[in-house]
Structures are given as C-alpha cells and as structure tokens.
C-alpha cells in the first residue's frame, strides 16, 4: 500500500476539528470537553503502542460494495478495555477471534491480555495491511504474540475449532451475519467447547435482531455505556442439529 493511500485512510486534523464542531453544535460544551479528552486518550494510547488505527471508512471507498457490511469504525478504547478487564480469561488457553478486525485495534488490545492465540478477520485488504503494520510495531508490548490476521470474506471463513471468545463490533448484518453464525455453530458441532460471543452494538441494531433468532445462543448479560455503546455477552450452548 502506498503512503498516500495509508494517509487517506487515517483520520486527519481537519476531520477531527469538523467532528469537534459538530459535537459542540449538537451536544454542547460538556460533550465537547469529553470528546477532546477522548481524542487525547486515543492519541496517548496509540503513541504508547506505536500504532495508528483511528479512522472512519466506508468500505465502498476500498472497492467493497456489500450492503450487509458496515463502515470501518474502530472499537472504543475506554469501553473495550473495561470489558477485557472484567472478562475471565483462561490464561494461555482462551483463543480470541475478532470479526471485522479493520486496522487491528481490538486485536492489539486483546493481545495485552494472556490469550493463547488471537485471530483477526477482515475483508478489506487495505485495512489488513495497516493492521499488520500496527501489530508489528506493538508486538514487544503485548502478552499474546501469536496473532494471525486473515483477509477473508467472513461468511466463507471456516471458524477455527480452538476459538473460545468471538468479538463482533457490529461489522455486518443480514445474510452475512446469518452465515457466520451458522459457521460458528458448525465449529461447535465439530469441537464442543465453552464459547463466548461479545457483541458491541448500538441501541437499535439489525445485528441484534438476527442474533435473537438463534436459540442456541443464550444472552448472559448486557453492559450499557451509552445509547451507542452496548455490549451483549452470549454463550453457545446447543451443539446438536
């Protein structure tokens, strides 16, 4: 990937200032102060790891025209770190898989915890190239260093039978999600095991509407940070046909 393409994918200062202006107009001074604080925290965190993952990208710009796929938006540092801190991780046993891994932020954050292995699945080759660069830079600071980033269509990806924690940040819906869930179920039939799904979704989501159709997925709990940041925790119980 050229440097020009990489630069275009990363959020620039003008975009940030436009975003701040929109926050001020729509939500007021307090929200603006919080947004600036969040921005500084992101910059500090990424500076420590030597990575860049902050951007909002419509996948059509990358040549992917699929109405079931959502734009690339990175996982929020604050909320996801809280989720990981509270997750009971079996050290060097659990395997983490991120669908729609983008530039690798969630993968890298998960790798700061003692997972045995981490997978990132991303349909956009350009984003996965950036993710690989980010992982290489962050690797010396990570606990889990067995990280595999795969460029693939999620609905065609065969779920590794070792995966025990699967993360979704509202990456797709419709037929793509339905096929991915069936692939997860097929993996459970091949290798029965404890499997948890963590789903970050907004207040109303077609993703959740599809999830509830699958009775083999049991909702265990929900954590709400705000109307646009909810985490559903599900466990897979049914391995029968």
Whether residue 83 is found in the same domain as residue 189: yes
Whether residue 165 is found in the same domain as residue 110: yes
């269509």: which residue's tokens?
Answer: 153
Whether residue 43 is found in the same domain as residue 84: no
Domain membership of residue 47 (yes or no) is yes
Whether residue 127 is found in the same domain as residue 227: yes
Residue 85 to residue 25: CA distance in whole angstroms: 34
Domain membership of residue 109 (yes or no) is yes
Tokens representing 118?
């981490």
Contact between residue 168 and residue 196 where contact means Cβ atoms under 8 Å apart: no
Domain membership of residue 107 (yes or no) is yes
Domain membership of residue 70 (yes or no) is no
Residues found in the chain: 241
Domain membership of residue 72 (yes or no) is no
Whether residue 85 is found in the same domain as residue 52: no
Residue 211 pLDDT: 84
Q: Considering its fold, how many domains does the chain have in total?
A: 2
Residue 7 pLDDT: 35
- Residue 172 structural domain: 77-236
Pairing of strands 229-236, 217-226: antiparallel
Contact partners, residue 105, CB within 8 Å, separation at least 6: 51, 53, 74, 75, 77, 134
The 8-class DSSP code of residue 203 comes to: S
Residue 107 pLDDT: 97
Domain membership of residue 100 (yes or no) is yes
Domain membership of residue 148 (yes or no) is yes
Whether residue 32 is found in the same domain as residue 97: no
Whether residue 125 is found in the same domain as residue 41: no
Whether residue 147 is found in the same domain as residue 225: yes
Residue 114 to residue 116: CA distance in whole angstroms: 6
Contact between residue 146 and residue 114 where contact means Cβ atoms under 8 Å apart: no
The 8-class DSSP code of residue 34 comes to: H
Buried b (16+ CB within 10 A) or exposed e, 26-48: eeeeeebeebeeeeeebeebbee
Whether residue 113 is found in the same domain as residue 38: no
Q: Report pTM.
A: 0.85
CATH number at residue 232: 3.40.50.150
148: β partners: 119
Whether residue 225 is found in the same domain as residue 107: yes
Residue 154 to residue 129: CA distance in whole angstroms: 17
Q: What is the pLDDT along the chain (241 residues), one digit of tens a residue?
A: 333 333 334 455 556 666 666 766 777 777 667 767 777 778 888 998 999 998 888 888 887 776 667 788 888 888 999 999 999 999 999 999 999 999 999 999 999 999 999 999 999 999 999 999 999 999 999 999 999 999 999 999 999 999 999 999 988 878 889 999 999 999 999 999 999 999 998 877 778 888 888 989 999 999 998 767 889 999 998 655 5
Domain membership of residue 67 (yes or no) is no
Whether residue 143 is found in the same domain as residue 33: no
Whether residue 104 is found in the same domain as residue 199: yes
């Amino acid at each position: 990937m050229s440097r020009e393409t990489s630069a275009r994918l990363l959020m620039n200062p003008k975009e940030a200032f436009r975003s701040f202006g929109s926050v001020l107009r729509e939500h007021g001074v307090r929200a603006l102060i919080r947004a600036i604080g969040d921005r500084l925290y992101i910059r500090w965190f990424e500076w420590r790891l030597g990575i860049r993952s902050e951007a909002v990208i419509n996948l059509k710009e990358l040549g992917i025209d699929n109405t079931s796929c959502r734009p690339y938006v990175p996982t929020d540092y604050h909320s996801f770190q809280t989720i990981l801190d509270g997750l009971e991780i079996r050290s060097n046993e659990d395997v983490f898989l991120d669908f729609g891994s983008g530039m690798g932020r969630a993968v890298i954050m998960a790798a700061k915890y003692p997972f045995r292995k981490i997978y990132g699945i991303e349909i956009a080759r350009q984003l996965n190239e950036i993710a690989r660069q980010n992982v290489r830079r962050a690797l010396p600071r990570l606990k889990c260093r067995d990280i595999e980033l795969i460029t693939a269509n999620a609905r065609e990806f065969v779920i590794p039978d070792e995966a025990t924690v699967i993360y979704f940040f509202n990456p797709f819906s419709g037929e793509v999600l339905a096929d991915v869930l069936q692939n997860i179920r097929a993996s459970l039939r091949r290798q029965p095991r404890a499997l948890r799904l963590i789903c970050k979704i907004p207040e109303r989501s077609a993703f959740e509407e599809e999830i509830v159709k699958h009775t083999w997925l049991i909702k265990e709990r929900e954590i709400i940070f705000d109307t646009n940041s909810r985490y559903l925790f599900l466990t897979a119980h049914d391995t029968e046909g």
